[in-house]
Structure 1
Amino acid sequence: MNTMLPSVTKVLAFTLTLAFAAVIPASAGSLITNGNLEAWGAVSGTPPQGSPTGWAGGGTVIRSAGLVPGSTYSGVIQAGNSGLYTTALLESTAQFELSFVLAATDPGSATSRSFNLQLSQASGMFLNFRTVRGSSGAGFLTLQVYDIAASGWSNLVQNLDASVYTGGSTNSFTTLNPYAFTLDVNLTGTPSWSLSYGAVGGSITTLSNKTIFSANPTVGGALTQFGFAGGASASNYGVDNITAISVPEPGTAVLALVGGFLLVAKLRRKM
């Protein structure tokens, strides 16, 4: 029996742990402060309004119940009012994954945006989304993205179920259909992004390698801030559980892992 095998196994596990750690940023958690929207400053009024800690947006953001199990609070952005914007990321990054949960109400026949997610860099906003009433009619939503090349909006996802929000002292989604969205954005080469979406707790669909932008992004640009705008909105909508993580370049990960395996091989030769 080879008594050295357990030691080699331990060394291998430890080395691979170091290799993976080498490619995960120090800020492996979200780059956003208070992305779960659980911490708030002073709130007042009916429904209660204020600003979540670490975010800007003023008193037009409503503190409402969480949109997913385990969440106490969400932020509801009212139609026609200002929105919810990050104040500062913990780190700027050119390759990242941005996730959030959203419940949007039917904007009716209006075509104004009901949410606008902004990702900013030196050249300005370059990804711009909105929801409009779905082709199936009342109670449905279509997610669109602005295409600078076509000078107009393009459909991404059609006929999602809308939610119904009741304000005032009720302050709740009396019909709640929350959706989880994840944007994977890469600005390190030819700028592109992928969108994954699905009802919370349901199956996920991914739309890959999109190159549709509302302003031409700069290669090597970086995410510096983003927000959910309500000023031109025709509906109320809630957001919750917002995260942004930096994604290491594949080449960096491969080099780290190869280094780990080479170190294990060297140690085994010495045994």
Structure 2
Amino acid sequence: MDEQVQSSEKLNTSSPSRFISLRWRFLFPLFLVLLVAAMIGAYAIANNLSYGVGVSQQNVLLQSSRTVSERTVDLYTRQHAEAQRIAFTSGIPEALLSGDVATLHAALEGAALAAGLDSVIITDAQGREVAGLQRVSTTEFTDYVISSGTDLSTEPIVQSVLNDQQTQTSGLFNTPEGLILYTAVPIRQDDETIGAVLVGIYLNQVLEDLQGSAVADIALYGGDGRLLSTTLLLQGDVSGLNTIDATLIKQTLNTAGQAIIA
């Protein structure tokens, strides 16, 4: 942040007498020199202070950006590890192939509780949900709601794993409880993909985890430039925050060292 410190002084001097004592003949020029030096010094100090504040704020933003980037990688790594742990859990492939929904739900709830996940879904090879659960909060309780039978075959994250043979991918689902960030991995048996497991956490929790103790706020945008969620307390006209330029999105995603989580 650059600030300019402008100082202007208009000196109006008038002398009722043309007499100047010998003392002032020596002191007045010295006073002028000191006054100019003091003004220059004050300007230099103010300028350095403003520059220092600007540099300090830039450093804070840069450090916060690095911290968020590192936490993003950690978040993705944790979710990927949890998804793989479920996919490789003994009995999961067999329960999936046999359609044993009760066994799958029991295994998923235990894994979700242990890892602090908000949602876990297992699909078959066609992308249909065989077993799933999602954390739901009401005024009376917070618990997991179980589900099955939802067709997820058209979801890009599911298609990437089942059709494109991706070993790991991530994406967002819009649910009545809010956006959930999922990470998906395939479930294999005898070198054949028989389904997929998706683990997810709510997007507002993602932002809290990414922000941590950082002093900077975070705004999360989708690939189309739309604002998805933010830690900012939005008040008044916030139309300028609702979208950002698509070119900036592409530049950010193409920047080396960036972790793309969705």
Q: Which has the higher contact order (CA 8 A, sep 6+)?
A: 1
Query: Is the TM value for this pair above 0.5?
Result: no
More helix by share: 2
CA radius of gyration, larger in: 2
For normalisation by structure 1, the TM-score amounts to: 0.31
